[in-house]
Amino acid sequence: MSAGTQTKDVKCNKPPSKSQMCFYGSCFTNKVIGEASFKTDHKWAVSLANPNIAVATDHEGKKHKGTWTNVYDEGFEVNVNERVFFAFSHFANGASQCEKTWPGWHREANPDKAAWGCYTGAKTGSKLLEEHKDMLTDKELATHLSLIQEPVARAPVKAYNTPTAEQDQLYEADHDLVNRINAKGATWKAKIYPHFEKLTKGEFNRMAGFRPARGAPIRSLPSTESLLQIEEEVQDLPKSFDWRNKDGQNYLDAVVQQNCGSCFAAATVSMINSRIRIMTKNREKASIPYEQVLTCDRYNQGCAGGYPFLVEKFTKDFGLTKTGHCAKSNDKLKELGEGASDNDAYVRVTKFGYIGGYYGGTKTGQMMRELHKNGPIVVGINGGYELMHYAEGLFIETGEGDNIANGKGIKRDFERVDHAVLLVGWGETREGHKHWIVKNSYGSSWGEAGYFKLPLGGDADGVESLTSAAIPVLGNSNYFNSKQAKEEQSMDQA
């Protein structure tokens, strides 16, 4: 680690030799991934215990206990001894190398304080350090040991490659697929969307999601037993709930039609917009341009992909503006002088993270409580090719959209990807099937005025895998140094 004495604008890497990097068939200009350029000041030894406990020995030999989470295979964040660490996992030739990191950042809990530094991490072993075992309770140690899994070898993902010539060809509407789905008598109807035909195959695939999906989708309604268990857990919550009509008020921002593979940005900013409206009882009808995430957010890769968790992190560290210009730190605003107001943050985030506390720890009941108490939540689903043709009803994949269906080869080059959307409520169909109410970012002419329904209960289409939320606050680029923030923090702790 370097000394934690810099501002948030600190540079941790040398200028990359290759600034253009490609992920999932789309390229971006890389500024933060490259070899380390900082001077080492001290070292820490850290053990990461399952599922989310971090134990650290600092450079003075003192031990500290905190938390950590993966951010899928993108990287991991550690919170320990009132310091926050985040670094991207290393990668090469299309494969993640999670045993080491690229240069990342560490900072104090207050992101606006000049207490930032750089660090790199490297795995030294597969077991907890002996000096850290006594920091865990017997129960925590038993839980850690029970969750250890053998590493699974995975082939490099082809979507890390540069765009192919075939991806530049125009997408052709799949009328045969629509006919097969509608003839099947499924719980939903499919249709053709002419505006998709203006896209290339690569653009169509990128609109469908932000990273390759793993595993086959779940194509069935949840069991009666699991639904009864959820009902018991949330029996104090209403049978149906919708932030579009809460006590006669609509607290949601408008449906947008996303650009490129930007669903992660569109969904997360919509969550923040909606929660500001809820927080202010619609006195402040936030409509933050999500496009600034694509150009400003150093934790994500713009049109080449990203993660809602990291958009929330960026909003806490730097903020989002009303104008769509990149939010600058307070130090940079002073340098800009007159006209800097366009770059002053309008909203920050006080708390954020995966529902359940860490990646993979989310349950349906927790999602419902968070949604009901604080507002819409962002989720990732692997709806795939069929979702692009959704018209109305309860979406459950039929299997007709797979590469091979009913012995017929499907004429396309579509890779199944995960797609970020917004859960805004829940309800029940006429047939009695419980469902989530989901806001998409394919425009208001898609689906049910831009929305669709997904089975509630269980992990249908991966809906429990990437679930996160944030608590926004109206605050500028110096918010966390302000008296207001300190007062709110004291009230929160009380």
Span 64-85, mean pLDDT? 95
User: pLDDT-derived band of residue 150, with 50, 70 and 90 as boundaries?
Assistant: confident
What is the model's pLDDT at position 458? 81
Q: Which CATH number fits domain 178-474: 1.10.3210.10, 3.90.70.10, 1.10.10.10, 3.40.50.720?
A: 3.90.70.10
pLDDT tens digits, 358-409: 998 999 999 999 999 999 999 999 878 999 999 999 999 998 887 544 445 4
Higher pLDDT, residue 127 or 417:
127
Q: Across all residues in the chain, what is the average pLDDT? A: 91
For residue 157, the one-letter residue type is V
Q: Is the pLDDT of residue 272 over 60?
A: yes
Higher pLDDT, residue 405 or 254:
254
What is the model's pLDDT at position 466? 87
What is the model's pLDDT at position 417? 78
Contacts for 218 with CB less than 8 Å, ≥ 6 apart: 458, 459, 460, 461, 462
pLDDT tens digits, 184-230: 988 999 999 999 999 998 889 888 887 777 767 777 888 888 999 99
Higher pLDDT, residue 238 or 152:
238
Range in 45-59, 292-306, 390-404 the model is least confident about:
390-404
Across 20-126, the runs of DSSP E, i.e. the strands, are: 20-23, 26-29, 45-49, 53-57, 63-71, 75-80, 83-92, 95-101, 104-108, 116-119
Burial of 402 (0-12, 13-18, 19+ CB in 10 A): middle
Span 428-452, mean pLDDT? 97
* Alpha-carbon gap, residue 247 to 314, rounded angstroms: 33
| Lookup: tokens for 291 | 């496009």
Span 61-86, mean pLDDT? 95
Question: Topology of domain 20-146, per CATH?
Answer: Lipocalin (2.40.128)
For residue 415, the one-letter residue type is E
pLDDT tens digits, 332-363: 999 988 779 999 999 999 999 999 999 989 99
Span 127-152, mean pLDDT? 93
Q: Is the pLDDT of residue 42 over 80?
A: yes
Burial of 181 (0-12, 13-18, 19+ CB in 10 A): buried
Contact 9, 329 (CB under 8 A): yes
Strand partners, 316: none
What is the model's pLDDT at position 405? 45
* Alpha-carbon gap, residue 309 to 372, rounded angstroms: 20
Closest to 134 measured CA to CA, from 71, 203, 47: 47
User: pLDDT-derived band of residue 24, with 50, 70 and 90 as boundaries?
Assistant: low
Q: Is the pLDDT of residue 18 over 80?
A: no
Q: Give the HSE-up count for residue 229: Cα atoms under 13 Å, Cβ half-sphere.
A: 10
Span 73-95, mean pLDDT? 90
Domain boundaries, the chain: 20-146, 178-474
Beta carbons within 10 angstroms of residue 244's beta carbon: 16
* Alpha-carbon gap, residue 392 to 403, rounded angstroms: 23
